[in-house]
Each structure stands twice: as structure tokens, then as C-alpha cells.
Amino acid sequence: MKKILFFALSLILGLFLSCTKAVKDTEQANKKKQRNVIFILTDDHRYDYMGFTGKVPWLETPAMDNLAVKGAYMHNAFVTTSLCSPSRASILTGEYSHVHRIVDNVSPNPGDLTYFPQYLQDAGYQTAFFGKWHMGNHHDDNPRSGFTHWESFKGQGEYYSPNLNINGTRIQYDSTTYITDLLTDHTIDWLDKRDKNKPFFVYLSHKAAHALFKPAKRHDGVYKGKVIDKPSTYKQTLSEEYKALNWPEWVKQQRHSWHGVDYMFHDQNGTFDENLQKYCETLLGVDDSVDEVMKWLKKNDLDESTMVIYMGDNGFSWGEHGLIDKRHFYEESIKVPLIVHCPEIFKGGLTVERMVQNIDIAPTILECAGISKPEYMPGESMIQLLKGDETNWRTRVYYEYFWEYDFPMTPTVFGVRTDTFKYARYYGLWDQNELYNIIEDPDEIHNLIEDPTYAESNKRLVKDLYKWMEETHGMSIPLKNTVKKAWGDYKHSNQY
């Protein structure tokens, strides 16, 4: 009888220990799914202005270079709208601009949007936001949904003497405080003090390198006198060839505006070369920020397991087609730097050529948290590509930009880009649409819209574009109430 009782107790104990082990194994598996993520977003950083690309021979960005060497450089990363607020909203919601309806820098959250960090919070993540929010009301820096810790500023903020809203309390910093360094220091401090028993998500959103460019004091002047070779299309709008190239008239006219090479930023910040020098110097502070974050991860043995994503919110033209800034559908405007680092998921040294977009950020981070992507998000997790699987990946990306009252130089445009062609369709003006063979003509010089040789390609792209607009409910242009302001009311507000 005792033997039977002993055997029964042993069996029960064994089952209990087995179940306990299974529960612990499940908990460990769930913890592995809940990967830590740091997302670093910069402003107006074009895709090829990093040291390792070789675009600017004298620009040095060792931290970004190292991130790319040990991670993956997404060579064809695009935004759905090349403008701060719409792009940032697409990152946070995983939706196109005409869906989330933050179509410009002043359109507010319509009140029914879900930001992906809210899903992370529900899954037990600590979430923190540091830096530029810039969506909707310029004067609202209050904490937003999805973040357990919040540090931001109004509108574009200031490079020096910043004022931060930290969890509802505003703090003014002195004139020696540089915003890029401050946000980085606060990020590291929060990481040090976080709850070590919970996974974390950090959204580090820099003001740099937005105009008017101001580098950190330690970088001011290091590129003085440096110049670049002007783009092949820098002077095209002044040449007799312009009509033969068949470019839209608005491109020619924009040369003489705030966003053109002949009158850039209304001459507030110096010459073309001086502006470009300051832009590159301002990027050096961002590179230092990346370096500090990666050093912290390594120091805390988290550099292998944490996914780090570095990205720009939109591109930036430096003289291509005679233009400065973003908004337009040319490559320099819509392509952004995108580097992903996570050795536990994929081997480093990758260059991914498949087209990805800002709407892929939310699905990627949600997968890191073990959360299924909501069906309403059109993007896909990039982890598939990082692991070498290109199955059923997209073959085209779509673009939209809505005309702005304060900056009327660029018209409303809808576009589609494949690996071979780019098609742009304009609204609200009597002008040319555009079609380029971007393999044979990567500088987008020869508009083929009226070339009969490309009639079928043109027709197919138009059909693709309208199919996308119809399927995603984009056939109605979102309108907004705008109030005309005198130039003096906003010329120093940095709300561009």
C-alpha cells in the first residue's frame, strides 16, 4: 500500500513539476517574443547623406556606418507623403495620409486614430517618447496616447534653449543646451531607471536636421568651405532644353521660391553651400546620438537582442530639379535613410533592395512584441525581408501629397513607383503629369509622359494608381479650414 501511495505521490509531483516547467517555458517564450525596440527618427535626413553611401565624400557618420555594417541598410525605403506630420502619422498609425487624415502640418488628429505604441502598452511594454511630435496643433505638446513616459516640445521646437513638456510639466533649458544632446541624455536616463522586468519601446524623435540648420557647438564650422558637385538637374530649368525635357511648369517656377535654389529659405540662412554645410554639421549631432544609444545597449548586454531602427521622416532635395526641401515626388524627396539592427534576428552587412515604406514600421515593431498586425494596416513587417524571404513582397509603392495653403508652390500629387517606372499625376493646375524610366534615367530628367513608346506603361500605371486610391478610399481629397496669414506672422515660426 505504501509503495502504491509513494508511486502516486511521485507521479503527481512529477506532473506538477512538468506543468511548472511548461508554464516557465511558455513564459520564457513569451518574453523572447517581447523584444525591446528603440526607434530613432530624424527630420529631413535624405537617404544618401551618410558616410558609408559615399554621396558626400567629406561627410563622416561613423555610428550610422557601423549600424549599417552590423545591421541592414534598406536601400529603397520610401515615405507615403514627404512632409513631417503626414509621414509621422503614417509611422504611428501604419496608415496612408488620406486614411489617417493628418494630411499636412496643421491638420489635427481627427480623434479616432490608434497609435501602434498603444498595442505595446496593452502587451505590457513600457513606452517612452522623446522629442518632436509635430502632428496637428503646433502649440500642443501635451502627452499623447500610447506612451507611459513623455517628453516633447511645441511645433518644431528650438535647437538651443529648448522647452520640454515632461509628463505634463514644462521645463525651460538655458542657451547652452542643445536639443539633440538633451533628448539623447534623457533617453539614456530613462533607460537606466526603467522597470527591468518589463520590455521597453523607445521612440527617440529628433528635431535635427530640420531647417534652419543649427549644429552643436562642437560641430559648428567643421565643414566650412566644403562643397558638393551640383546635381545634373541643378540648372536644367534655366536651359533652352527645358521645354524639350517636358518638365511641369511648376518645377521651373519653384526655383524662385522658399523651396528653390535661387531664393532658398528666403535667404535667411546663407547661400546654397553654406546651408548644405550646416545641414551636414547638424547631422553630426544625430550621429553622436546613435553612438550613445548603441554604447548604452552594449554596456547593458542588450545590443544583440534589441531591435534598433534608424529612419528619416522624409527625404530632402539639395538642388535636384532646381529644388530645395521635400513634398515633391522626386527620388531625393521620397527616399529616406532606414537602417535596422538586431543580430539575434538576422546577420549584419545586408543591403535590402526591395521597396519598403514608413507604413511598414508599425507592423515590424508589433512583430517584435509578438503582436499580430491589425488588418487595417496596409504595411508589412520587414523582418521577413531581413531574414531573406521576399515571398509576395510588394512590387510598387504609392505616394500622395496634398497642396498646402501656406506653401502653395507644390501642387497636389498622387503617384506610383515600381522598380522601373515612376508616374506622377497632378491636380488643381493646368500642367504636365510625369513619367520616368528610373532605370535608364535615374536623375528623372526626361519626362516620357507624351512618348508613344511608353503609352502602354503609362496606361498601366494610371490604372494601378486609381485602383489603389479606390481600394483604400482615397478618391476624396481631404479638405481643411485654412486661414490666410501674413508672412510676418509665421516666417520665424519654423512651421514648414
> Distance between CA atoms of 490 and 496, rounded to whole angstroms?
9
Q: What is the pLDDT of residues 280-300, one digit of tens each?
A: 999 999 999 999 999 999 999
Beta strands (DSSP E) in 213-270 are none
DSSP string, 26-44: HHHHHHHHS--EEEEEESS
pLDDT of residue 146: 97
Decide: pTM greater than 0.85. yes
- Grid coordinates of 258: 522658399
Class at the top of the CATH hierarchy for domain 33-395: alpha beta
Write out the E strands in 282-420.
307-312, 317-318, 324-325, 338-341, 350-352, 356-357, 396-401, 412-418
Does the pLDDT value for residue 487 go beyond 60? no
The 10s digit of each residue's pLDDT in 210-265 is 999 999 999 999 999 999 999 989 987 666 666 778 899 999 899 888 899 988 88
Render pLDDT for 358-416 as a digit per residue (tens, 0 to 9): 999 999 999 999 999 999 999 999 999 999 999 999 999 999 999 998 888 899 999 99
What would the mean pLDDT of 130-153 be, rounded to a whole number?
91
Domain ranges of the chain: 33-395
Percent of the chain topping pLDDT 90: 79
Report how far residue 393's alpha carbon sits from residue 349's, in angstroms, rounded to the nearest whole number: 21
